[in-house]
A = this chain, B = another copy of it.
Amino acid sequence: MSQSEFEIIQRYFVDSGLGFARTGVVLGIGDDAALLQLPPNRLLAISMDTLLAGVHFPATAEPALIARRALAVNLSDLAAMAATPLCFTLGLVLPESNGAWLQGFSEGLLDLARKYECPLVGGDTTHGELSITIQVQGTVDADRVLRRDGAEVGDRIYVSGFLGDGAIALASLGLDSHLGRNFALNKSQPSASCFEYFKQAYYQPKPRLELAQACASIMSSGIDISDGLYGDLKHIVTASGKGAQLRVNLFPYSDAAIACMSVDNRMQAALYGGDDYELCFTVPPKSCQALEQAALALNTKVTCIGEVIRGSEIICIDASGSELPVSTKSYDHFGNH
Protein backbone atom coordinates (compact mmCIF):
# COMPACT_ATOMS: atom_id res chain seq x y z
CA MET A 1 0.00 0.00 0.00
CA SER A 2 1.11 3.51 -0.60
CA GLN A 3 -0.49 6.59 0.85
CA SER A 4 0.46 10.18 0.24
CA GLU A 5 1.80 12.38 2.98
CA PHE A 6 -1.51 14.23 3.12
CA GLU A 7 -3.51 11.01 3.31
CA ILE A 8 -1.30 9.82 6.18
CA ILE A 9 -1.75 13.05 8.12
CA GLN A 10 -5.50 13.11 7.48
CA ARG A 11 -6.19 9.49 8.28
CA TYR A 12 -3.92 8.77 11.22
CA PHE A 13 -3.44 12.15 12.81
CA VAL A 14 -6.69 14.03 12.08
CA ASP A 15 -9.48 11.48 11.51
CA SER A 16 -8.07 9.41 14.39
CA GLY A 17 -9.17 12.15 16.77
CA LEU A 18 -5.64 13.06 17.87
CA GLY A 19 -6.29 16.72 17.15
CA PHE A 20 -9.14 16.92 19.67
CA ALA A 21 -10.32 20.31 20.90
CA ARG A 22 -8.69 21.78 23.96
CA THR A 23 -8.94 25.16 25.65
CA GLY A 24 -5.93 27.23 24.62
CA VAL A 25 -5.57 25.60 21.19
CA VAL A 26 -7.08 28.19 18.85
CA LEU A 27 -6.04 26.45 15.62
CA GLY A 28 -4.67 22.91 15.30
CA ILE A 29 -3.58 20.77 12.35
CA GLY A 30 -4.29 22.18 8.89
CA ASP A 31 -2.69 25.59 8.39
CA ASP A 32 0.95 26.70 8.13
CA ALA A 33 1.21 26.86 11.92
CA ALA A 34 -0.90 26.02 14.95
CA LEU A 35 -2.15 28.89 17.11
CA LEU A 36 -2.14 28.81 20.90
CA GLN A 37 -3.58 31.20 23.46
CA LEU A 38 -2.16 31.20 26.98
CA PRO A 39 -4.20 31.81 30.11
CA PRO A 40 -3.34 35.22 31.62
CA ASN A 41 -0.18 35.20 33.74
CA ARG A 42 0.89 31.76 32.58
CA LEU A 43 4.20 31.02 30.90
CA LEU A 44 4.56 28.56 28.04
CA ALA A 45 7.00 25.69 28.65
CA ILE A 46 8.35 23.93 25.52
CA SER A 47 10.58 20.89 25.26
CA MET A 48 11.68 18.71 22.33
CA ASP A 49 12.99 15.15 22.33
CA THR A 50 14.00 12.94 19.42
CA LEU A 51 13.75 9.14 19.61
CA LEU A 52 15.59 7.13 16.98
CA ALA A 53 14.80 3.53 16.05
CA GLY A 54 17.64 1.28 17.16
CA VAL A 55 18.88 3.85 19.68
CA HIS A 56 15.93 4.87 21.83
CA PHE A 57 13.66 1.95 21.03
CA PRO A 58 13.88 -1.24 18.94
CA ALA A 59 12.65 -0.63 15.39
CA THR A 60 10.54 -3.78 15.63
CA ALA A 61 8.71 -2.79 18.82
CA GLU A 62 4.92 -2.50 18.76
CA PRO A 63 4.09 0.91 17.24
CA ALA A 64 1.61 1.77 20.02
CA LEU A 65 4.37 1.25 22.60
CA ILE A 66 6.87 3.33 20.62
CA ALA A 67 4.29 6.10 20.46
CA ARG A 68 3.53 5.97 24.16
CA ARG A 69 7.20 6.06 25.07
CA ALA A 70 7.89 8.97 22.73
CA LEU A 71 5.09 11.10 24.14
CA ALA A 72 5.68 10.06 27.77
CA VAL A 73 9.36 11.03 27.83
CA ASN A 74 8.42 14.46 26.49
CA LEU A 75 5.64 14.90 29.03
CA SER A 76 8.20 14.00 31.68
CA ASP A 77 10.11 17.17 30.73
CA LEU A 78 6.95 19.19 31.38
CA ALA A 79 6.61 17.45 34.75
CA ALA A 80 10.18 18.49 35.51
CA MET A 81 9.07 22.13 35.11
CA ALA A 82 5.78 21.54 36.99
CA ALA A 83 3.93 22.55 33.81
CA THR A 84 0.49 21.42 32.65
CA PRO A 85 0.45 19.83 29.17
CA LEU A 86 -1.25 21.93 26.48
CA CYS A 87 -0.50 20.24 23.14
CA PHE A 88 2.25 18.54 21.14
CA THR A 89 3.74 18.56 17.65
CA LEU A 90 5.17 15.51 15.89
CA GLY A 91 8.03 15.23 13.42
CA LEU A 92 7.70 11.69 12.13
CA VAL A 93 10.26 10.12 9.78
CA LEU A 94 8.87 6.90 8.35
CA PRO A 95 10.56 4.27 6.18
CA GLU A 96 7.27 3.39 4.46
CA SER A 97 3.60 4.25 4.68
CA ASN A 98 2.53 1.07 6.49
CA GLY A 99 -1.13 1.38 7.44
CA ALA A 100 -1.12 -1.14 10.28
CA TRP A 101 1.95 0.45 11.84
CA LEU A 102 0.51 3.95 11.57
CA GLN A 103 -2.80 2.78 13.02
CA GLY A 104 -1.07 1.32 16.08
CA PHE A 105 1.19 4.33 16.44
CA SER A 106 -1.73 6.71 16.24
CA GLU A 107 -3.72 4.71 18.83
CA GLY A 108 -0.79 4.70 21.23
CA LEU A 109 -0.46 8.46 20.93
CA LEU A 110 -4.20 9.02 21.33
CA ASP A 111 -4.32 7.01 24.53
CA LEU A 112 -1.75 9.15 26.26
CA ALA A 113 -2.81 12.41 24.60
CA ARG A 114 -6.35 11.96 25.93
CA LYS A 115 -5.13 11.00 29.38
CA TYR A 116 -3.10 14.20 29.70
CA GLU A 117 -5.43 16.45 27.62
CA CYS A 118 -2.59 17.11 25.21
CA PRO A 119 -3.80 17.05 21.58
CA LEU A 120 -1.63 16.94 18.47
CA VAL A 121 -1.61 20.34 16.76
CA GLY A 122 0.89 19.97 13.91
CA GLY A 123 4.18 18.61 12.69
CA ASP A 124 5.77 17.06 9.66
CA THR A 125 5.85 13.60 8.08
CA THR A 126 8.81 12.66 5.91
CA HIS A 127 10.29 9.57 4.34
CA GLY A 128 13.47 8.05 5.80
CA GLU A 129 14.79 5.97 8.70
CA LEU A 130 12.26 5.74 11.52
CA SER A 131 12.59 8.54 14.03
CA ILE A 132 10.14 10.45 16.19
CA THR A 133 10.63 14.05 17.29
CA ILE A 134 8.02 15.42 19.65
CA GLN A 135 7.76 18.89 21.05
CA VAL A 136 5.44 19.35 24.01
CA GLN A 137 3.90 22.66 24.96
CA GLY A 138 2.69 23.24 28.50
CA THR A 139 1.67 26.14 30.72
CA VAL A 140 2.89 27.07 34.17
CA ASP A 141 2.43 29.93 36.63
CA ALA A 142 5.53 32.12 36.63
CA ASP A 143 5.88 31.78 40.39
CA ARG A 144 5.44 28.00 40.46
CA VAL A 145 8.04 26.93 37.90
CA LEU A 146 10.21 24.01 38.99
CA ARG A 147 13.74 24.90 37.96
CA ARG A 148 17.16 23.29 38.37
CA ASP A 149 18.85 26.18 40.10
CA GLY A 150 17.05 26.60 43.42
CA ALA A 151 18.63 23.93 45.66
CA GLU A 152 19.93 25.21 49.02
CA VAL A 153 22.34 23.60 51.49
CA GLY A 154 20.37 21.39 53.85
CA ASP A 155 17.53 20.71 51.40
CA ARG A 156 16.56 17.05 51.24
CA ILE A 157 16.95 15.21 47.93
CA TYR A 158 13.97 13.12 46.90
CA VAL A 159 13.08 10.85 44.01
CA SER A 160 9.66 9.69 42.90
CA GLY A 161 8.92 6.02 42.18
CA PHE A 162 11.76 3.54 41.80
CA LEU A 163 15.28 3.97 40.51
CA GLY A 164 17.05 1.83 37.94
CA ASP A 165 14.04 0.26 36.28
CA GLY A 166 14.81 1.99 32.96
CA ALA A 167 18.26 0.44 32.63
CA ILE A 168 17.23 -2.93 34.06
CA ALA A 169 14.40 -2.94 31.53
CA LEU A 170 16.96 -2.75 28.71
CA ALA A 171 18.69 -5.86 30.03
CA SER A 172 15.35 -7.63 30.54
CA LEU A 173 14.15 -6.83 27.03
CA GLY A 174 17.47 -7.97 25.57
CA LEU A 175 18.48 -4.46 24.49
CA ASP A 176 21.95 -2.95 24.75
CA SER A 177 22.77 -0.50 27.49
CA HIS A 178 25.91 1.57 28.01
CA LEU A 179 26.65 0.03 31.41
CA GLY A 180 29.04 -2.61 30.12
CA ARG A 181 29.29 -6.38 30.14
CA ASN A 182 28.95 -6.87 33.90
CA PHE A 183 25.54 -5.23 33.83
CA ALA A 184 23.40 -8.34 33.40
CA LEU A 185 20.43 -10.08 34.99
CA ASN A 186 20.97 -12.68 37.72
CA LYS A 187 19.47 -15.26 35.38
CA SER A 188 19.68 -15.38 31.60
CA GLN A 189 15.92 -14.79 31.36
CA PRO A 190 13.69 -12.68 33.63
CA SER A 191 10.52 -14.31 34.95
CA ALA A 192 7.38 -13.64 32.92
CA SER A 193 6.10 -11.17 35.52
CA CYS A 194 9.42 -9.31 35.66
CA PHE A 195 9.52 -9.17 31.86
CA GLU A 196 6.04 -7.63 31.78
CA TYR A 197 6.91 -5.20 34.55
CA PHE A 198 10.01 -3.96 32.76
CA LYS A 199 8.29 -3.80 29.37
CA GLN A 200 5.77 -1.48 31.00
CA ALA A 201 8.51 0.52 32.75
CA TYR A 202 10.42 0.99 29.49
CA TYR A 203 7.61 1.78 27.09
CA GLN A 204 5.16 3.44 29.41
CA PRO A 205 7.05 5.55 31.91
CA LYS A 206 4.72 7.68 34.04
CA PRO A 207 5.36 11.39 33.65
CA ARG A 208 5.13 12.75 37.21
CA LEU A 209 2.92 15.66 36.27
CA GLU A 210 0.52 15.53 39.21
CA LEU A 211 3.24 15.35 41.83
CA ALA A 212 5.15 18.25 40.29
CA GLN A 213 2.08 20.44 39.87
CA ALA A 214 0.85 19.73 43.41
CA CYS A 215 4.21 20.30 45.09
CA ALA A 216 6.14 22.76 42.90
CA SER A 217 5.78 25.53 45.44
CA ILE A 218 7.54 23.51 48.14
CA MET A 219 10.20 21.96 45.87
CA SER A 220 13.32 24.13 45.65
CA SER A 221 14.59 22.47 42.44
CA GLY A 222 13.75 19.53 40.21
CA ILE A 223 14.66 17.55 37.09
CA ASP A 224 13.49 14.34 35.47
CA ILE A 225 15.84 11.40 35.44
CA SER A 226 16.52 10.59 31.81
CA ASP A 227 20.30 10.03 31.85
CA GLY A 228 20.72 8.46 35.30
CA LEU A 229 20.41 9.95 38.81
CA TYR A 230 24.07 10.92 39.02
CA GLY A 231 24.15 12.89 35.78
CA ASP A 232 20.76 14.51 36.25
CA LEU A 233 21.33 15.46 39.89
CA LYS A 234 24.63 16.89 38.67
CA HIS A 235 22.63 19.36 36.56
CA ILE A 236 20.79 20.47 39.71
CA VAL A 237 23.91 20.88 41.83
CA THR A 238 25.78 22.66 39.03
CA ALA A 239 22.90 25.05 38.30
CA SER A 240 22.44 25.69 42.03
CA GLY A 241 26.16 26.03 42.84
CA LYS A 242 25.97 23.33 45.51
CA GLY A 243 27.04 19.75 46.19
CA ALA A 244 25.04 16.65 47.15
CA GLN A 245 25.40 13.67 49.43
CA LEU A 246 23.48 10.56 48.39
CA ARG A 247 22.78 7.61 50.68
CA VAL A 248 22.76 4.71 48.27
CA ASN A 249 21.25 2.35 50.86
CA LEU A 250 18.08 4.48 50.74
CA PHE A 251 17.59 4.15 46.97
CA PRO A 252 14.11 2.79 46.22
CA TYR A 253 14.03 -0.31 44.01
CA SER A 254 11.09 -2.18 42.57
CA ASP A 255 10.49 -5.80 43.58
CA ALA A 256 11.31 -6.77 40.00
CA ALA A 257 14.65 -4.94 40.16
CA ILE A 258 15.48 -6.69 43.43
CA ALA A 259 14.53 -10.05 41.96
CA CYS A 260 16.53 -9.62 38.75
CA MET A 261 19.68 -7.72 39.65
CA SER A 262 22.54 -7.85 42.15
CA VAL A 263 22.83 -5.07 44.73
CA ASP A 264 25.76 -3.54 42.89
CA ASN A 265 24.12 -3.66 39.47
CA ARG A 266 20.95 -2.10 40.86
CA MET A 267 23.01 0.80 42.15
CA GLN A 268 24.76 1.13 38.80
CA ALA A 269 21.37 1.20 37.10
CA ALA A 270 20.06 3.84 39.50
CA LEU A 271 23.08 6.13 39.31
CA TYR A 272 24.15 5.78 35.70
CA GLY A 273 21.43 3.93 33.82
CA GLY A 274 18.90 6.53 32.79
CA ASP A 275 15.47 6.08 31.20
CA ASP A 276 13.71 6.15 34.58
CA TYR A 277 11.70 9.33 33.92
CA GLU A 278 11.16 9.77 37.64
CA LEU A 279 11.53 13.18 39.24
CA CYS A 280 14.57 14.06 41.31
CA PHE A 281 13.87 17.15 43.41
CA THR A 282 14.95 19.00 46.51
CA VAL A 283 12.79 20.14 49.42
CA PRO A 284 13.67 22.39 52.38
CA PRO A 285 13.56 20.40 55.65
CA LYS A 286 10.58 22.35 56.97
CA SER A 287 8.49 21.29 53.96
CA CYS A 288 9.35 17.59 53.87
CA GLN A 289 6.33 16.54 55.87
CA ALA A 290 3.99 18.52 53.62
CA LEU A 291 5.66 16.99 50.57
CA GLU A 292 5.30 13.46 51.85
CA GLN A 293 1.65 14.00 52.75
CA ALA A 294 0.88 15.46 49.34
CA ALA A 295 2.61 12.54 47.63
CA LEU A 296 0.66 10.10 49.77
CA ALA A 297 -2.59 11.79 48.79
CA LEU A 298 -1.62 11.31 45.13
CA ASN A 299 -0.64 7.68 45.80
CA THR A 300 2.83 8.51 44.49
CA LYS A 301 5.87 6.99 46.15
CA VAL A 302 8.58 9.48 47.12
CA THR A 303 11.84 8.65 48.90
CA CYS A 304 14.37 10.90 50.57
CA ILE A 305 17.80 9.71 49.38
CA GLY A 306 20.18 12.44 50.47
CA GLU A 307 20.88 16.06 51.15
CA VAL A 308 22.21 19.16 49.44
CA ILE A 309 25.64 20.10 50.85
CA ARG A 310 28.28 22.75 50.25
CA GLY A 311 30.72 22.17 47.41
CA SER A 312 30.18 21.11 43.83
CA GLU A 313 30.45 17.32 43.90
CA ILE A 314 28.05 14.46 44.39
CA ILE A 315 29.23 12.15 47.15
CA CYS A 316 27.74 8.69 47.52
CA ILE A 317 27.87 7.02 50.92
CA ASP A 318 26.76 3.54 51.96
CA ALA A 319 24.88 2.42 55.06
CA SER A 320 28.08 2.45 57.14
CA GLY A 321 28.82 6.03 56.12
CA SER A 322 31.76 5.08 53.87
CA GLU A 323 32.18 7.04 50.66
CA LEU A 324 31.84 5.05 47.44
CA PRO A 325 33.87 5.73 44.31
CA VAL A 326 31.77 7.42 41.62
CA SER A 327 31.93 7.04 37.89
CA THR A 328 30.62 9.48 35.29
CA LYS A 329 28.91 6.93 33.15
CA SER A 330 25.65 8.80 32.56
CA TYR A 331 24.18 8.20 29.16
CA ASP A 332 25.79 10.27 26.44
CA HIS A 333 24.75 9.98 22.79
CA PHE A 334 28.23 10.76 21.51
CA GLY A 335 30.28 9.07 24.24
CA ASN A 336 32.21 5.83 23.90
CA HIS A 337 29.92 3.28 25.48
Which A residues form the contact surface with B (CB < 8 A)? 2-6, 8, 26-27, 30-38, 43-50, 52, 54-56, 77-78, 80-81, 83, 89-91, 93-94, 97, 121-129, 131, 133, 135-138, 140, 142, 145, 147-149, 223-224, 239, 332-336
B44-A127 in contact (CB<8A): no
In the complex, the answer to whether A77 meets B33 with C-beta atoms within 8 Å is yes
Copies in the complex: 2
Contact present for B133 and A124 (CB under 8 Å): yes
A48 touches B8 (CB 8 A): no
A336 to B127, CA, bound (A): 12
Q: How far is the CB of A4 from chain B (nearest CB, A)?
A: 5
Query: A123, B48: Cβ atoms under 8 Å?
Result: yes
Cβ–Cβ contact A81 & B35, under 8 A: yes
- In-complex Cβ contact of A239 among B30, B127, B145 (8 A): B30
Which of these, B35, B83, B93, B142, contacts A145 with CB under 8 Å?
A: B35
Contact B129 A32 (CB under 8 A): no
Whole-angstrom CA separation of A149 from B38 in the bound complex: 24
Q: Provide the bound-state CA to CA distance between A193 and B93, in Å.
A: 36
A8 partner residues in chain B, CB cutoff 8 A: 334
